Amino acid sequence: MSKNDPQLKPTNFIHQIIEDDLKNNTHAGKVVTRFPPEPNGYLHIGHAKSICLNFGTAEKYQGECHLRFDDTNPGKESQEYIDSIISDVEWLGYQWAGEIRYTSHYFDQLYQWAVYLIEQGKAYVCDLSPEQTKAYRGNFNEPGKNSPYRDRSVEENLALFEKMRAGEFKEGECALRAKIDMAAPNMNLRDPMIYRIMHSGHHQTGDKWCIYPIYDFAHGQSDAIEGITHSLCTLEFEDHRPLYDWFIENLPVPATPKQYEFSRLELNYTITSKRKLKQLVDENVVDGWDDPRMPTISGLRRRGYTPAAVRQFCEMIGVTRSNGVVDMSMLESAIRDDLDANAPRAMCVTQPLKVTLTNMEEGVEEWFELPNHPKDESMGSRRVGFTRNLLIEKDDFIEVKPVAKNKHDKWKRLAKGDAVRLRGAYVITCQEVIKDEAGEIVELLCTYDPATKGVNPEGYKPNGVIHWVSAELSVPCDVRLYDRLFTEANPDGDKDRNFLDFVNPDSLVSLPDARAEISLKGAKPQSSFQFERNGYFSIDKSSTDEKLVINRTVGLRDSWTKGKTA
């Protein structure tokens, strides 16, 4: 890639920093980034931004990006989360350099560096309880005060730290702390904890350790071990950077990484707190981490979002240092644009109303060849069966047409005594309406005009065009209309109310009697379609040979901006 390649032009402030570093040969001309998730939950759309930034930056500058699990808190971690994160990164289309890395791979080295700090008189074992430690720490207006154990000798601290490692203390009985400055304006520098006791087995190291390093201690040193050049974090870690630098400066690390912060992704009508997402799962508000209403990457994937759309969305929102909230409609626009160009078309009747063509013989089948995409011939065509018994949407029929207020307000669908065109087929006219004992319309008796196949009828004008399926030549399916999970743009913004109070009761509507055209028989999970006039949909993993389960990914247009659900 030449220096004049337009892809190398900086598109954000981080890339400008990298450009300057490359010009100055600051990191020997090689860019190394990393994506370091904690395996304590599923990744969400905010993580997608970080994935795209870290991996995308490495790709742009022909460097490398590491996937490293920050597994320093085994009590909240699991292999399930590790597997899901690996799957998410791969699904987004990225490949990490080398083997998957774990902070736990460096536990021996981190322990030795903790010993080094003790030997240098820069760390000590503190016996204050967690409550006492908090009280001694002070606050933003008052300096902290030194622990009474701060001046223990190097020998005593080494002995105590070895006892911590040997499991001779209970959890919370003591901890190893860095000796920095209890009066520092930055609270993170007030003798922060380095190691704590956790009598918990680890998914990678088993029972080898009962003490584990704190994130702030392990993070920078892991970067240094791996030769990371640009450690990219969200803005909440900005106040932690002085501590990150303090450890790098006071330890014999093999490299000197630099931390840079960018704004995290905040999306309205959702939450991105892993703790609260877990609460939604644990309290069965949603059906698991990959519920299509969840903002998790696996939830978006199950709903029908594509890697290209997610990556395009992350490109659209950009990388800045200014916090802000992104409108959900931007994410929906990204997937809508992608599927409009790439999703084949099909017909699905979500709430069927029976139509009988009285002038067509029973048992007769006619097949129409319809294009899979009106603007892309390369996507081919599919065969759709036409029979005497058809199904249309209940909402596409009205017994008595409303009086039009203007030419734009005319009824564009089927009415008694009127005609309408069936998409790709004939024009039909409703002659009679059949109702049940409760007065509900259950069947329409219609006639079709054989002369209208592919041509306009003579002497009359149809009201419009509607979609349909054959009652016999169609596939049973359960269509699930997913919508935004919360009714409020900022469900976590009212401190006097629980965010669960704003869960949208209509975030999932199931239509179990839907029927899709026969071409969808055997459609594979994750296959996406635009259903004529209904929106974009994806085949769910729970589909069976007997019945498809189909998730609405997004509507054809944004109707939330008009104050109603899509």
Catalytic residues: 38, 264, 274
Phi, psi of 531 (to 5 degrees): -85, 125
- The token duo for 13 is 């402030």
| CA dihedral sign, ordered 264, 269, 275, 281 | negative
Nearest one of 208, 226, 207, 224 to 108, comparing CA atoms: 208
Locus of tokens 């707190």: 273
Nearest one of 147, 511, 545, 152 to 351, comparing CA atoms: 511
Long-range pairs of 409-418 with CB within 8 A, sequence gap ≥ 24 = 410/463, 411/463, 412/463, 412/464, 413/463, 413/464, 413/466, 414/444, 414/463, 414/466, 415/463, 418/462, 418/463
Please state whether beta strands 381-386 and 266-267 pair in parallel, antiparallel, or not at all (unpaired): unpaired
Q: Is 138 exposed, middle or buried (0-12, 13-18, 19+ CB in 10 A)?
A: middle
Q: Is 29 exposed, middle or buried (0-12, 13-18, 19+ CB in 10 A)?
A: middle
Answer whether 210's CB lies under 8 Å from 199's CB.
Answer: yes
> Per-residue b/e over 55-75, b at no fewer than 16 CB within 10 Å?
bbbbbbbebbbbbbbbbbbbe
**What is the spatial distance between Cα 416 and Cα 410, in angstroms, rounded to a whole number?**
15
